[in-house]
Structure 1
């Protein structure tokens, strides 16, 4: 397993959630917030705060008391599990704008660790106060269950598929999966930001850094993907998905 570069301790800037910030938020119509009318959204906003982290800041640690969960409004968060044998971290899921992180807990403590792969903004909600509002508004409760189930399903599908694929196919699946996610969430585009380093991709896919680099090179030579800065462009969506055995 490839190790992940050292992270920064939990640090963030916090301010109140405002009507203006909700109106401008790209996550307004996604998941939890998308199920609410404007009045209900105001009540939800009154429960939380908007927080901002810099790249590599830790949002929450596994085993720490659960103080809040987060709906991401911009940026990318890695959900991380520690291996039992030597304490190294493995990325088990990626969450982007519109997704929730930190909601799952065990006896009031975070089950996983979350850290910022990019600069991140998120709305932070007290689980206790949020659940009380969800009991008041069944539409919010239903949206919460749907959002969590969708995230779990995506993670389970990725883990299952990746475990059955060879190395270059795993990397192709990774890019196909991200492309489909960004396209569904933000519109019809063949390009999307790549927030992970090669070593973080290796951690996520259970490969070595060298294997990931070789596999990326093969996909580029096949004319399937191209890079420009931190942007990835899928040049042939159908061929990439077919190579990765990916079904959008």
Structure 2
């Protein structure tokens, strides 16, 4: 299936310099004129409805996508057709990096809520990066961050029990939202518990038990998708063996 298309008629284009997540995105550290050159690559921002697919595994690489509003999940299908969630992306993060090595997307990207992305044509981005070392540096940092995230995920799956995995996930979500100016202790999870379980390598019933365990310890209060962290230090103590949170 081809990439998602805008579902509204009005033009959503605006300069990167006016974007609320500029400090978290590809233009980080670029000068004003450099940001203007990067902005010319974004033909038009567009919205992706909740549940709509931005791209599918096997689609050719055309663009990278900076998430401006909303959130996404990425996933792959196992040989028996089961979904394996590989990540969750929020404003300021990039989608589409999985296709750089083969020019084909290796996973599906689906909007968890009504969202908005900035498409950046990859061939044009590569050309501009050769002309702007600061842009190439930022792109390298984003790719490196993906590698670190993969390493952290492997460490979590190999070394943490189910409660520790769930605590690490909540702490990670808290930290990422706090970086974007939102509350670190009260937030709404946009994904289903089944999707969290898939990402953490846990069954749904294990996720439910883990939530009950954290609640019984007075660490968190979770009602549906609403989360309140009651004891941040206590939650962090479950991950004393982990030197850094997942990014």
Instruction: Give TM class, smaller chain.
Output: 0.7 to 0.9
- Tell me, yes or no, if structure 1 residue 158 matches structure 2 residue 153: yes
Q: Distance in 2 between matches of 1:151 and 1:107?
A: 16
Alignment of 1:64-213 (within 5 A): 64-83=59-78, 85-105=79-99, 106-186=101-181, 189-213=184-208
Match of 2:54 in 1: 59
Deviates more, 1:60-69 or 1:126-135: 60-69
Stretches of structure 1 lacking an aligned partner (at least 5 in a row) = 1-7
Alignment CA distance shift 1:191-1:154 (3 Å): farther
Question: Residue 214 of structure 2 contacts residue 220 of structure 2 at CA under 8 Å; is this kept in 1?
Answer: yes
What's the offset of the Cα at 1:68?
Answer: 1.2
TM-score by length of 1: 0.87
Alignment CA distance shift 1:10-1:108 (3 Å): closer
Question: Residue 17 of structure 2 contacts residue 32 of structure 2 at CA under 8 Å; is this kept in 1?
Answer: no
Match of 1:25 in 2: 19
- Higher RCO (CA 8 Å, separation ≥ 6 residues): 1
Aligned residue-pair number = 238
What's the offset of the Cα at 1:30?
Answer: 1.5
Q: Root-mean-square deviation (CA), in Å?
A: 2.2
What secondary structure, in the 3-state scheme, does the structure 2 residue paired with 1:149 have? helix
TM-score by length of 2: 0.87
Q: Distance in 1 between matches of 2:203 and 2:32?
A: 48
Please list the CA deviations of residues 176-224 of structure 1 after superposition, one character each: whole Å capped at 9, or x if unmatched: 2212222234366322331111111111111111111111111112111
Q: Distance in 2 between matches of 1:17 and 1:240?
A: 41
Match of 1:243 in 2: 238
